[in-house]
Amino acid sequence: MAEAITSRAQDYSQWYLDVIKFAKLADYSPVRGCMIIRPNGYALWENMQRALDDMFKATGHQNAYFPLFIPQSFLAKEAAHVDGFAKECAVVTHSRLKLDPVHGLIADPDSKLEENLIVRPTSETIIWDTYSRWIQSWRDLPILMNQWANVVRWEMRTRLFLRTMEFLWQEGHTAHATEQEAVEETLTILDIYAKFAEEYMAVPVIKGIKTASERFAGAVETYCIEAMMQDGKALQAGTSHFLGQNFAKAFECKFQNKNNELEYVWATSWGVSTRLIGALIMVHSDDKGLIMPPKLAPTQVALVPIYRSDEDRVKVLETAEGIKKELLAAGVRIIVDDRDGFRPGWKFNEYEVQGVPVRLALGPRDVENGTVEVARRDNGTKDSVSQTGLAAYILNTLDDVQKGLFDRALKSREDLTTTVDSYEEFQSVLDSKGGFIRMHWDGSEETENKIKEETKATIRCIPLEGYEEAGTDPITGMPSKGYVYFARSY
C-alpha cells in the first residue's frame, strides 16, 4: 500500500477518514453528502442489524415498511416537527424528465406535482396518519412497529458515517393506551440500545435525558445514549423519544378506552443509524487501522497459509481446511486466504488494516509441529498455539478481545471524564483534554446557551444514574439538582 494512514496524534479527523478508506468501509459518491457503503462497511451494518433486530423482536416488535415519500402538508401538521425538518429536506416536485432542445434534459414542466413530496427525514407523520386509520379501540393497542429504511436530511457539513445526507437506520414507532406504558416502552428501547452498544459494539455509554433544546422535534422527552470518542468528543449513539400525544393530536388519532371514552393515543419513536459505524471506528481503532469487536466482525478469524513449494502448499492448505472446518463448526466466522499472487506479509497487513480480530498464520513447520500462530489485532500479541483444542482457544480469545476492547474503552472514557465545580476549570479542562465534564447546572436554557456559545460544549445529557447530588450552578449561583454531562460533540 503506497499511502499510509495519518496518525491520530497528527490529525484525528484525517485519521478517521483514512481508516474508512484503507479498511474499505465507505466511499464518497458523486452526489454531495451521500455515501457509498462498501462491502466491508455494509457487512458490519448487517451484523448490527441482526443483533438489534433480534432484540426488538424478542421484546414483541414487528417490522413493517412505510413509503419513502411524505406529502408536504403532513410535515406541517405538528408545529415543532416542521420547524425541525423543513429546512433540510429533499423536495420532489416533478415526475418526469424531458429533453429540451435548448437546455437538454429538464424536469418536464407538465409533470409538476399538485403537492410536493418530501423524501422522509423521519416517518412520524406518515405513520401517525396511518395509525389514525388502524386504531379504533384499546383492542388495537399497543402497536409495536419498527422499520429498517433510508432517510434523507439535507445536511450542509457532512462526514462519512457520522453525518451524511442519506443514511440507513431503523425507526421504531409505537402506539399505546396509557402514558405509563409509552414511557416504559421508551426506556425498554433505551436499555436495548445501551445493551447493544456495550455488549456488541464494546462501547460504554451514558444513558440520559436530553435538555429541552436538544429534544427531537415533536417529542415530550428525548432519552439518549452518549459515547466518548478517543479524541475527547462525545457522540450521540441512539435516541428514544416519548412523544406524548403530540402526533396523535396532529393526526386525530383517538381510541375508545375500556370505559368507552375517546382518548388520544400515546406514542414513542426511537432510532439508531449507520452513524454507529462511525462511533465504532472512533472508539476502538488505532494508527494501524480499524479494530472490530469480535461480536460484530464479519470475519472474526483470517488464516493466512504460508508455503514456498507446491508440496508444502498441499500440506499447509489441507491442515488449514481442517482448522477452518473445526472453527466453523464451533460457530467462528473464519476465512482461509489462499489467494495466490499476494505475499503473506501483504495479507497480514490487509487483515490488520481491516480490523479482523484474530489472524492465524500456518506454515510447513506448524503443520509438522501441530501448531499455529495466533495474532491478536487488539493488542498485537502473537502466540504459537497447539492445533489440538484450537476451537476452544479461539472462542476464549474472541471473548477476551471483546471484553478487553470494552474495558479499554471504559478506562479511556473514565480518564476523559472530569467533575468540575467552577466555570474556569470547566473551560480549562475542555480546552486541554476535552471529554465529558460533569458540572452542576441550574436547569435554565439561558445558562445552557451561554456555555454553548462561549465554549461550543453542549449538555450531552442529564444522566439517568448518579443524578442525586444536589449543588450549585457555578455560573449563576442558582441551585442544581445534580451533575450533568457536558462535552463538545460530533
DSSP code string of 216-250: -TT-SEEEEEEEE-TTS-EEEEEEEEEEETHHHHH
What are 159's three cell numbers? 462526514
Instruction: Say whether 125 sits in a helix, a strand or coil.
Output: helix
Among the listed ranges 125-133, 189-197, 208-216, 219-227, the one in contact with a copy of itself (CB under 8 A) is 125-133
Give residue 72's identity as a one-letter amino acid code.
Q
d(C-alpha 344, C-alpha 357), whole Å: 17
331 is a contact residue toward a copy of itself (CB under 8 A): no
Among the listed ranges 14-22, 122-130, 187-195, 321-329, the one in contact with a copy of itself (CB under 8 A) is 122-130
Q: Which is nearer to a copy of itself, 107 or 462 (CB)?
A: 107
Q: Which is nearer to a copy of itself, 146 or 186 (CB)?
A: 146
Q: Which is nearer to a copy of itself, 162 or 168 (CB)?
A: 168
Instruction: Say whether 131 sits in a helix, a strand or coil.
Output: helix
d(C-alpha 214, C-alpha 80), whole Å: 12
What are 405's three cell numbers? 476492547
Q: Which is nearer to a copy of itself, 9 or 87 (CB)?
A: 87
Which residues, 71 to 110, sit near a copy of itself by CB under 8 A? 71-76, 82, 86-99, 104-107
CB of 281 to a copy of itself, least distance (A): 17
Give the one residue of 7, 17, 51, 69 binding a copy of itself; rule: CB under 8 A. Answer: 69
CB of 278 to a copy of itself, least distance (A): 15
Question: Is-contact 466 236, C-beta < 8 A?
Answer: no
Question: Is-contact 143 134, C-beta < 8 A?
Answer: yes
What are 421's three cell numbers? 465545580
Measured between its terminal Cα atoms, the distance across the chain in Å is 30
- Please list, in sequence order, all residues whose beta carbon lies within 8 angstroms of the beta carbon of residue 272, skipping any fewer than 6 positions away: 52, 169, 170, 193, 196, 237, 238
264 is a contact residue toward a copy of itself (CB under 8 A): no
Q: Which is nearer to a copy of itself, 87 or 465 (CB)?
A: 87
| 142 cis-preceded (ω within 30 degrees of 0) | yes
What are 299's three cell numbers? 470475519
CB of 149 to a copy of itself, least distance (A): 8
CB of 94 to a copy of itself, least distance (A): 4
Which residues, 335 to 364, sit near a copy of itself by CB under 8 A? 341
Site string for a copy of itself, 38-67 (x = CB under 8 A): xx--xx-xx---------------xxxxxx
Q: Which is nearer to a copy of itself, 167 or 436 (CB)?
A: 167
Q: Which is nearer to a copy of itself, 46 or 454 (CB)?
A: 46
Which residues, 4 to 33, sit near a copy of itself by CB under 8 A? 27, 29-31
d(C-alpha 120, C-alpha 126), whole Å: 9
Give the one residue of 44, 149, 197, 272 binding a copy of itself; rule: CB under 8 A. Answer: 149
CB of 404 to a copy of itself, least distance (A): 29
Place of cell 476492547: 405
Q: Which is nearer to a copy of itself, 340 or 468 (CB)?
A: 340
Q: Which is nearer to a copy of itself, 38 or 376 (CB)?
A: 38
Instruction: Say whether 304 sits in a helix, a strand or coil.
Output: strand
CB of 146 to a copy of itself, least distance (A): 10
- Please list, in sequence order, all residues whose beta carbon lies within 8 angstroms of the beta carbon of residue 331, skipping any fewer than 6 positions away: 395
With 0-12 / 13-18 / 19 or more C-beta atoms within 10 angstroms meaning exposed / middle / buried, residue 391 is middle
Among the listed ranges 111-119, 207-215, 374-382, 398-406, the one in contact with a copy of itself (CB under 8 A) is 111-119
DSSP code string of 395-429: HHHHHHHHHHHHHHHHHHHHHTEEE-SSHHHHHHH
130 is a contact residue toward a copy of itself (CB under 8 A): yes
CB of 107 to a copy of itself, least distance (A): 5
- Number of residues binding to a copy of itself, judged by CB under 8 A: 65
CB of 241 to a copy of itself, least distance (A): 21
CA dihedral (131, 209, 460, 478) in degrees, to 10, reads: 140
- Please list, in sequence order, all residues whose beta carbon lies within 8 angstroms of the beta carbon of residue 346, skipping any fewer than 6 positions away: none
Residues in touch with a copy of itself (CB under 8 A) = 27, 29-31, 34-39, 42-43, 45-46, 62-76, 82, 86-99, 104-107, 111, 116-119, 126, 129-130, 139, 145, 149-150, 152, 154, 166, 168, 341
